[in-house]
């Protein structure tokens, strides 16, 4: 459990803004509090997502290169993956998946993410 925190202003016991995630504390007495602005929902998500390549993608230098970046394999391999379609490209946490998905997005590559990706 989270250790007790006391208000800097009035000394009352602070309450967590969200009791499931350590995103901030609030004083029920005087309203003083803080929230971690740098912690995003996405960073607290511990689920592992999977990017699955769909079929029917355009084969071009750009799309092959994008696959190469995402899968970390060479050009020839990436080309094969792209031509074949319907395969798992990569697994990762929400933050990583977002980066990879944006690379695919930029290159108009058809993909899906499982499980349902809320970001
Ligand atoms: Zn207070």
Domain match, 109 and 65 both: yes
- Report CA(20)–ligand 1 centroid distance (Å): 22
- Report CA(7)–ligand 1 centroid distance (Å): 5
Residues of the domain holding 75 = 43-114
Which H, E and C letters describe 10-79, residue by residue? CCCECEECCCCCCCEEECCCCCCEEECCCCCHHHHCCCEEEEEECCCCCCCHHHHHHHHHHHCCCHHHHH
User: How many domains is the chain built from?
Assistant: 2
Please report which confidence band the pLDDT of residue 34 belongs to, taking 50, 70 and 90 as the band edges.
confident
Residue of higher predicted confidence among 17 and 14 = 14
- Report CA(4)–ligand 1 centroid distance (Å): 14
Domain match, 59 and 108 both: yes
Ligand 1 ion local residues (Cβ < 5 A): 7, 9-10, 12, 27, 29-30, 32
The residues with which 26 forms a beta bridge, in sequence order, are 15, 33
Domain match, 51 and 32 both: no
Domain match, 106 and 49 both: yes
Q: Are 34 and 24 in contact (CB under 8 A)?
A: yes
| pLDDT for 22 beyond 90 | no
Domain match, 12 and 27 both: yes
Domain match, 55 and 24 both: no
Domain match, 49 and 83 both: yes
Q: Is residue 119 part of a domain?
A: no
Q: Could you read off the pLDDT of 68-87 as tens digits, one per residue?
A: 999 999 999 999 999 999 99
Domain match, 69 and 81 both: yes
- Report CA(110)–ligand 1 centroid distance (Å): 52
> Which pTM value belongs to this model?
0.67
The confidence score (pLDDT) of residue 74 equals 97
């Amino acid at each position: 459990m989270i250790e007790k925190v006391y208000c800097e202003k009035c000394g009352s016991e602070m309450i967590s803004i969200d009791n499931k995630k350590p995103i901030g504390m609030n004083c029920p007495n005087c309203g003083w509090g803080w929230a971690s602005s740098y912690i995003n929902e996405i960073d607290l998500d511990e689920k592992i997502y999977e990017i699955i390549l769909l079929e029917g993608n355009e084969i071009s230098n750009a799309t092959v290169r994008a696959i190469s970046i995402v899968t970390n394999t060479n050009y020839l391999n990436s080309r094969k993956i792209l031509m074949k379609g319907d395969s798992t490209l990569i697994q990762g946490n929400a933050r990583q998946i977002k980066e990879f998905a944006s690379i695919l997005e930029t290159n108009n590559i058809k993909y899906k993410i499982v499980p349902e990706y809320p970001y």
